[in-house]
Amino acid sequence: MNTESLRVNKQSWDEAAERFYGRNPLPEYGPLAPTEDELKLFGDVRNLKMLEIGCGSGHSLKYLDQRGAGELWGLDLSITQITAAKALLENAASPVRLFESPMENNPGIPADYFDIVFSIYALGWTTDLEKTLSNVHQYLKPGGLFIFSWEHPMYNRIRAKGGVLLMDKSYHEEGSYQHEAWSQPAIMQQYKLGTYINLLIENDFKIEKVVEDVSLSDEDIQRHANRWYSYDKAKALPAAFILKSRKS
């Protein structure tokens, strides 16, 4: 676990939290990606115990509360995000427990407890992917689901310039990097899709679904178009990937 990266990212998220309030929560999985309404990866969540890794402002947990989830748990690195989530979920029908914590640490989350652990566009912020996946495996009941989404590894390696797509970074290159679309200093992690899949397998998960589709309706394009996510790139390669796995 890189404590300096965590320090930088915590400060960055505390400053940027307001800008990302309610951005791309469930049923969305990320910019220009299919939604849970289309994919139905979660299934019936009534009475299930749910834990979100990188819960942000709490809007994905609210979505699950509205669908009858039994318990809502979440952790996030940013105290600003946790404060916003607590306010949003104050009147939730389900019991709520939120932790200010990096995903690489266990702040007091029980083992073998959750039916579903999920992460919506947050896992790439981990400074130790293997430790984070090990934690997730520990939290889940046997047979429990882990569902997460993140920016597709190819998307960051290709630029759209003058109507042409140019690959300016090797797909084989992995490790930390500063994302050019992030306004504050922030350190994310770059992995190949195979690295995510193989680490899941090594941590005793069974892969059930990998989604690399895009959603390019007029509404999607208008809602997500900016200098980083664009129709020109997304019509040629996925902006996000979604992965569903199950604890063996």
**CATH code for the domain in which residue 148 is found:** 3.40.50.150
Question: Looking at 33-42, 162-171, 239-248, which range is the least confident one?
Answer: 162-171
242 lies in which domain range? Answer: 3-247
Q: Is the pLDDT of residue 22 over 90?
A: no
Number of domains the chain is built from = 1
Question: Looking at 2-6, 38-42, 65-69, 121-125, which range is the least confident one?
Answer: 2-6
The CA–CA distances, whole Å, from 132 to 95, 100, 127 equal: 24, 15, 9
Task: Provide the mean pLDDT of the chain.
Answer: 93
Examine residue 25 and say whether the peptide bond preceding it is cis (omega within 30 degrees of 0): no
Nearest by Cα to 77 from 37, 44, 121, 122: 122
48 secondary structure, DSSP code: -
Confidence of residue 15 (pLDDT cuts 50, 70, 90): confident
